[in-house]
Structure 1
Amino acid sequence: MKFLAVTLIVHRPDPVTGVLTSTHDRFREVVGNAVLAEELGFDGFGVGERHERPFLSSAPTVVLSHVAALTRRIRLFTAVTTLSLLDPVRAYEDYATLDHLSEGRLDLIIGKGNGTAQRELFHVTPEDQWDRNAESYEVFRRLWREEKVTAATRFRPPLTDAEVLPRPYQQPVRVWHGSATSKESVDLAARYGDPLFSANVTHPVEPYAELVRHYRERWEHHGHDPARIAIGAGTAGLHVAPTSQQALAAYRPVFEANLAFARRTGLPVVFETLEDFAERSSALIGSPEQVIDKVHRYHERLGHTVLHVHADAGGLGDRRHRHSLELFQSAVAPVLRRSIPDPPFAWAPALPASPTTRSEEGLAHA
């Protein structure tokens, strides 16, 4: 099993202390968390993309490029790239550049995104967002693979023998399809034989397990080898402590503050108590043994081989959060790496088969 630390770069007051850091300091936290994730042995670091409050993640390529310059091994993920909002040509240029600068450490998780404000900002409607997402991905995918592309697009000017530079470093980049509640992303992933990343954060496991079941059905419908399926899944929270009592006591102020925020702002409340949240959500709150058991239970339902946890302290405080990540990597991750398989593909950069100076350098950084 592989492990990612992921941030959406939320920028709102700390749920427990009420302190709001500056925008500058928030970005420094993100970069510091990425360096820490590599230091602790995580396999990937992900940055989301949002174009509305309370997020600062409108430019993930810029953030990940900075992270690439400060790290050597860890793979860099988007979580997610909102292709329904983007010009696929411009998105390709940005990500192909990032792929070169990171020595081929880029993975993309794509999705339509959500949120009324960002749809309005880009003049995308609920009626056309799925078509935009599919068209943008199809163009993006071809640009990565073909020297020149002709495409009769609906949502951007058509392309005629378009040559887009730079040509890619990885051939091709790996693209995961992020899915929360809708089958459209699942269908797109299955059609192209791409891996799926389940959001798995808001509800109990059942709706996510149903989407994964649908993905597996559509995967086989399109003639792909079932042994090549790869699934990732998110978590709703993380705090690992020596005992369950310590973990719950430390996380309770965070949960209660987030619950109050949800009620105050009209967000749906799915879990009314911390105990219910720890038991029925995907949150990993407890002793190492409890966390291992829960990941195994979710693996039985989802079959996932990649797991993401929160990179941010999120009200726990930096020191406590670091101790939690350290305990996760020392006592949880080794057990899960032995008992749950890795995805059915290499984690290293996908470089050309013929040996070149470039590929040798890329593999040296894998």
Structure 2
Amino acid sequence: MRFLAITLIVHRPDRVTGVLKPTRDRFREVLDNALLAEELGFDGFGVGERHERPFLSSSPPVVLGHIAALTRRIRLFTAVTTLSLLDPVRAYEDYATLDHLSGGRLELIIGKGNGSAQRDLFAVTPEDQWDRNAESYEVFRRLWRHGRVTAATRFRPPLTDAEVWPRPFQRPVRVWHGSATSRESVDLAARYGDPLFSANVTHPVEPYADLVRYYRERWAHHGHDPAAVAVGAGTAGVYVARTSQEALAAYRPVFESNLAFQRETGLPVVFETLEDYVERSSALVGSPQQVIEKVHRYHERLGHTVLHLHADAGGLDDRAHRRSLELFQSAVAPVLRAEIPDPPFPWEPVAPDTGREPARV
């Protein structure tokens, strides 16, 4: 099993202290967390993309470019790239550049994105967002693989024998499809034989397991090898301590603050108590053995071989957050790496650039 640390770069007052960090300090925190993830042995670090309050993650290529310069080993993920909002040509240029600067450490998780404010900002409607996402991915995918592309597009000017630079380092980059609540992303992933990343953070496991089951069915329908399926999954929160009592006591203020925020902002409340949250959500709060057992229970439902954890402290103090991640890596990750397989592909650059000219299409 492989492990990612991810951030959406949420920027709101601390969930416990109420203090709002300056924007520059929040970005510095993201960089520090990426360095910590590499130091502790995480396999990847992901940066989300949102174009609305309270997120600072509107430009993941810039943030990941800085992280690429500070790190050497860890793979760099987007979580997710909102292709429904973006011009696929411009997105390709940004990420092909980042692919070279990182030495082929880039992987993308794509999706249509969430939030009505960012849809309004880019003049995308609920009726056309899925069509935009599919079209943008088709163009992006072809640009990555071919030297010249012709495409009769609906949502951007058509391409006629278009040549886009730079040519990428990886041939091609690996693209995961983020899946939360609908079948459209799942269908797109299965059609192209791409891996799926289940959000798995808001609800109990059942709806996510249903979508993963559907993904496997569509994967087989399109004639792909069942042994090549790769699924990743998120977690709603993490705090690992020596005992369950210690973990619950430390995490309770974080949960109660999140619960109050959900009620104040009108967000749906799924888990009313910390005990219910720990029992029925994907949160990994407990002793190392409890966390190991919970990941196994989810693996039985999802079959995932990649797991993401939150990179941010999220209301914990920095020292407590670091202790939790250190304990996860020393007492939890080695067991899960031994007992749950890796994804069915090497964790390294995909067919790196050899200097050959790409095909024309």
Distance 1:327 1:192 in 2: 38
* Root-mean-square deviation over aligned CA pairs: 0.8
Partner amino acid for 1:141? R
Distance 1:53 1:312 in 2: 17
1:59 matched residue in structure 2:
59
1:346 matched residue in structure 2:
346
CA 1:352 to 1:21, structure 2 compared with 1: closer, same or farther past 3 Å? Answer: closer
CA 1:259 to 1:159, structure 2 compared with 1: closer, same or farther past 3 Å? Answer: same
Residues 37-186 of structure 1 aligned to structure 2 (within 5 Å): 37-186=37-186
Distance 2:75 2:317 in 1: 26
Distance 2:122 2:23 in 1: 23
Alignment partner of 1:299 is 2:309: no
2:18 matched residue in structure 1:
18
1:277 matched residue in structure 2:
277
Question: What does the per-residue CA deviation read over 1:150-173, in whole Å, with 9 as the maximum and x for residues that have no partner?
Answer: 000000000000000000100000
1:359 matched residue in structure 2:
none
Alignment partner of 1:226 is 2:226: yes
Distance 1:10 1:209 in 2: 27
Secondary structure of the residue aligned to 1:315 is coil
What is the aligned-residue identity percentage? Answer: 84
Distance 2:113 2:76 in 1: 19
User: Does the CA-based 8 Å contact 2:179-2:198 persist in structure 1?
Assistant: yes
Alignment partner of 1:241 is 2:241: yes
Question: What does the per-residue CA deviation read over 1:118-173, in whole Å, with 9 as the maximum and x for residues that have no partner?
Answer: 00000000000000000000000000000000000000000000000000100000
User: Does the CA-based 8 Å contact 2:170-2:353 persist in structure 1?
Assistant: no
Secondary structure of the residue aligned to 2:16 is coil
Distance 1:252 1:224 in 2: 45
Distance 1:62 1:352 in 2: 22
Secondary structure of the residue aligned to 2:322 is helix
Alignment partner of 1:202 is 2:202: yes
Structure 1 segments, 4+ long, off by >3 Å, are none
Distance 2:352 2:310 in 1: 34
Question: What does the per-residue CA deviation read over 1:62-108, in whole Å, with 9 as the maximum and x for residues that have no partner?
Answer: 00000000000000000000000000000000000000000000000
Partner amino acid for 2:171? Q
TM value normalised by structure 2: 0.98
Equivalent residues, number: 355
In the TM superposition, residue 350 of structure 1 has moved relative to its aligned partner by 1.1
Unpaired segments ≥5 residues, structure 2: 356-361
Partner amino acid for 2:303? G
Distance 1:78 1:348 in 2: 16
User: Does the CA-based 8 Å contact 2:263-2:269 persist in structure 1?
Assistant: yes
User: Does the CA-based 8 Å contact 2:171-2:353 persist in structure 1?
Assistant: no
Distance 2:50 2:307 in 1: 21
1:28 matched residue in structure 2:
28
Question: What does the per-residue CA deviation read over 1:227-270, in whole Å, with 9 as the maximum and x for residues that have no partner?
Answer: 00000000000000000000000000000010001001100000
TM value normalised by structure 1: 0.96
In the TM superposition, residue 351 of structure 1 has moved relative to its aligned partner by 2.6
Partner amino acid for 1:199? A
Partner amino acid for 2:326? E
In the TM superposition, residue 352 of structure 1 has moved relative to its aligned partner by 4.3
In the TM superposition, residue 353 of structure 1 has moved relative to its aligned partner by 8.6
